[in-house]
A = this chain, B = another copy of it.
Amino acid sequence: MKDLLTVTPARKSTHLDQYNNSWYQPGPGWKILLWIVTNAVFFNNSLAVFNSLKCWLLQKFGAKIGKGVVIKTSVNIKYPWFLEIGDQVWIGENVWIDNLTYVIVRNHVCISQGALLLTGNHNYKKPTFDLIVKGILLEDGVWIGARATVCPGVRCNSHAVLTVGAVATSDLEAYGIYSGSPAKKIKERVID
């Protein structure tokens, strides 16, 4: 009898036409458009080799940039006014900082080639698939490995290491070394 009485509720659907991200206002249209062109010409291509110019442009667009910052070619940055970078930070080739909100990078941090920092997400439990934005914090001495991904809201604590291709979905402990997708701690980082 139980089987006959069990009712499977109809499952709900997403309706992307009802998506409403009007609350999210990252900046005036002219500024975004100007940055899209600047990003394309001076950052996100393989001839974009002028490091001082890149640091200067980021500052003009509202980023905080420390001393000794190195930005390689083909770097893609969403909105520089949501970017804070400390001293002695390296940003490798093809790094993608998709910062819909703040990405804060402290000192002596290395973000290796092809790494991706994500700040946007969607609420998959809502039919309206609501936008969720959460910042990222990379503390002193952190190393984000080549082609690794840091998910929205993740804080990588002091000197944490995310290895090649790993995907950090939650906070990384200080001096922890993380591997895999989703990333798990595999060992302790000991600096001589």
Name the B residues within 8 Å of A47 (CB-CB): 36-37, 40
- Judge if A182 is at the interface, Cβ distance under 8 Å: yes
> Which residues of the other chain, B, contact A36 by a CB distance below 8 angstroms?
46-47, 49, 73
Considering the complex, give the chain B residue whose CB is closest to the CB of A107. Answer: B16
Q: Is A137 an interface residue (CB 8 A)?
A: no
In the complex the two chains form, is B191's CB within 8 Å of A88's CB? no
Q: How far is the CB of A74 from chain B (nearest CB, A)?
A: 8
Q: Which of B16, B98, B143, B158 is within 8 Å of A108, CB to CB?
A: B16
Q: Per-residue 0/1 for A132-168: is the Cβ within 8 Å of any B Cβ (1 yes, 0 no)?
A: 0000000011010011010100000011010111110
A122 on the B face (CB < 8 A): yes
The yes or no answer to A124 lying at the interface (CB within 8 A) is: yes
Query: Given contacts A110-B129, A165-B181, A189-B125, is CB(A14)–CB(B46) below 8 Å?
Result: no
Q: Is the CB of A14 within 8 A of B165?
A: no
Q: Which residues of B contact A174 (CB under 8 A)?
A: 11
Contacts of A151 in B (CB 8 A): 164
A118 sits at the interface (CB 8 A): yes
Tell whether A34 is near chain B: CB-to-CB under 8 Å.
no
Supplied contacts A16-B68, A165-B167, 9 more A-B pairs, CB within 8 Å:
A12-B192, A16-B88, A36-B49, A37-B47, A40-B47, A44-B46, A125-B189, A125-B192, A127-B192
Give 13 pairs: A residue, B residue, CB < 8 Å, sorted on A: A11-B191, A13-B141, A14-B191, A16-B90, A16-B108, A17-B87, A17-B88, A44-B46, A118-B164, A125-B192, A127-B191, A146-B149, A149-B164
The 6 nearest A-B residue pairs measured at CB: A12-B191, A16-B88, A165-B167, A40-B46, A14-B141, A16-B108
